[in-house]
Amino acid sequence: MVDRSGAGHSSWLRGFHESKPDAPRLLCLPHGGGSASFYFGLSKALSPALDVRAAQYPGRQDRSEEPPAESVQELAQGVFHALGELDERPLALFGHSMGAMVGFELARLLENAGRPCAVLFLSGRRGPSVERFENLHQGSDAQLIEEVVKLDGTDAALLRDEELLGMILPMLRADYRAVETYRPTPGPRLRSPFVVLTGDTDPRVTPEEARTWSQETDGSFELHVYPGAHFYLVPQRQAVQHRIEATLRRLAPGGGAAA
């Protein structure tokens, strides 16, 4: 692994593979309970044509000694400040589940700073206009674990290890609290294009709910539905990779039609 993040932003951003000096940047934002390493395989597949970075939220892995963030906006602010220490180049955002919410708030911060992202990929999450009362973060440990098992995004061996569970449950609960108490920051519709991806059997979001992201942008909008549940992008990684590549080719100066 090549960690190219330097002092100041190293705690928030990870880079796993080398890229071309002028490669456009793709910033990946993990799901609740997830970490930067979730995107290692996607980074490997997209490098060196893209400079792939992944956010590392506090409260997990090498940041386990730090308290987890209390809100989606706090996560977006942390990543925003870290990005400010990198060289400027065309930037695309890819967020899955909670990461989609972080990406949406981050895109707003970037637009307000005069640095809009080239495209916002939103995966496995309904648009913020769809309100649903959820309070799993106030439930028991058993209820929280049951939800994680249902989504099938965590190694089952981890969920059987009581010592590891004791380490990750506070972080997981904090992430669910951030998601379930999220209210979008008021503001105008974004100008960036939206590309929304979802699984056709995701128990957390229907394709119709995913389509409501179209209400949040004045840019172009696409919805792509793949076979699979909440973590469809694991078995469908190659299809997701191709969608990212085709979109960025089309949006690049002089780019042709998407493949």
Domain ranges of the chain: 13-132+183-251
Cα distance between residue 46 and residue 221, in whole Å: 23
- As beta bridge partners, residue 202 has none
Would you state the pLDDT for residue 6? 37
Distances (CA, A) of 217 to 69, 104, 159: 27, 10, 39
Cα distance between residue 108 and residue 232, in whole Å: 27
Helix axes 98-112, 72-83, angle to 10 degrees: 50
Strands 221-226 and 194-199: parallel
Would you state the pLDDT for residue 4? 35
Is the peptide bond preceding residue 48 cis, with omega within 30 degrees of 0?
A: yes
pTM for the whole structure:
0.90
pLDDT lower than 70: segments of the chain: 1-9, 139, 151, 153-161, 254-259
**Topology of 13-132+183-251 in CATH?**
Rossmann fold (3.40.50)
Q: Residue 29 is inside which H or E element, if any? A: strand 25-29
Picking from 159, 181, 177, 179, the residue whose alpha carbon sits closest to that of residue 168 is 159
Q: Which residues are catalytic?
A: 97
